[in-house]
Amino acid sequence: MKAVGIIVEYNPFHNGHAFHLEASRKVSNADIVIAVMSGNFLQRGEPALVSKWYRTKMALLNGVDLVFELPYGFAVQKAETFANGAVSILDAVGCDYLCFGSESGDIDSFYRTIHYLNDEHENYENNIKQYMNKGVSYPKALALSYQQLPNSENFLDLSKPNNILGFHYIKAIIGQNSSIKPVTVARKNANYHDENFTSETIASATSIRKAIFSDEKKIKISQYVPEPTKKLLDEYMNHYGMYHNWENYWDYLQFRLIQASNEELQEIYEVEEGLENRLKAAAIQSTSFQEFMQKVKTKRYTWTRLQRLCVHILTNAQKIEMTKFTEKASYLRLLGMTTLGRDYLNQMKKHFRLPLVSKLSSFKEKEITLDITAARIYAMGLGGIQRQEMLKQEFIEPPIYIKK
């Protein structure tokens, strides 16, 4: 079977994702779609709207055949590390193609830009250092440094979020000497960070989440998500009584920051340059996560970088652990499959280049402990019986199977 891989978060799965999924099948002529999906905490340092199990169901009911979890150590990371982990999983399970959405829509522009930056490597790195020394955030320094290079306007626009991810996907494929063939489709209508609805059927996940959490109950998302997504969102709310956002975890984060010593915080991944002092001071003065973030945000530290740091504080993800997650994943955590996905597994798993984890209690690798911790911390956002149910779920939940 020919397989196309996709790298997703589905927070939640919407019509734009459905378009990408169908386009991925068509452009690759693949028999099966394999998704690598972030777990309960996401690349921008946010808790997912609903759990990874519900998002796995969304994926399977909307056309994905196999879902593997992107380990926490890659999922809550900058774009380069995120891409390395995801590509290594798709490579390990035998994907022939990787299809990603981009603002460019032209795969050749990605290769031309990679070659161009290789040629301009020294100038590019020097520009980055100069901007960083001026107190500019790392992502902004990258963008400005790129713009300073001669003729950069003739290459890929690396100020666009999906172009950036695609650029790192292809770099990962090249760096890992993978045989995966990358293909891209142009993003349709809504931009990645759009906060408002600008189309009748396509909206960004950001605008959908904003509508879900809005006090204006008249805002409806039904026209922007497939029916299975809407049913699962309603089911989650009926069962758990809430959707997840950072405010559900503020009390825990505030406690961690006040209780931990400076020395303990300095061991947390991405805590550097005395940032622990600023975090502790802001935690004492703040009454909400939003207020806390506004106090700690600076020109040097982006909102996303700080959110990721906050997740690492909650999960106690230490530098010594996280530095292991740079190039390739060490296991395949299976979250769900369709009938076709199960057939692919039965046919191909003996050729997988990483150990397959379908039952957590039987897997002893230390790297997976961060995933377990993250799942338990995510459950703490709930209350009562629902919290206890989700705390156990990580160990007892088998891979989801959708017969179709």
- Is the separation of the CB atoms in 381 and 391 below 8 Å? no
Which residues line the annotated binding site for ATP? Answer: 7-20, 101, 162, 187
**What mean pLDDT is predicted for residues 285-291?**
97
Task: Name the β-bridge partners of 334.
Answer: 68
Tens digits of per-residue pLDDT, 105-155? 999 999 999 999 999 989 999 989 888 888 888 888 888 898 888 888 888
Of 330, 357, 329, nearest to 345 (Cα)?
A: 357
Of 262, 370, 278, nearest to 323 (Cα)?
A: 370
pTM (predicted TM-score): 0.93
Tens digits of per-residue pLDDT, 225-283? 999 999 999 999 999 999 999 999 999 999 999 999 999 999 999 998 889 999 999 99
How many whole angstroms separate alpha carbon 357 and alpha carbon 129?
Answer: 41
Of 28, 59, 14, nearest to 184 (Cα)?
A: 28
Beta-strand relationship, 332-338 and 356-357:
parallel
- Residue 102 in tokens: 């981009």
> What ranges do the domains of the chain cover?
3-103+165-239+328-402, 107-159, 246-322
Domain 3-103+165-239+328-402 has CATH 2.30.30.240: no
How many whole angstroms separate alpha carbon 273 and alpha carbon 372?
Answer: 29
Which residues line the annotated binding site? Answer: 7-20, 101, 162, 187
**E strand or H helix at 118:** helix 107-119
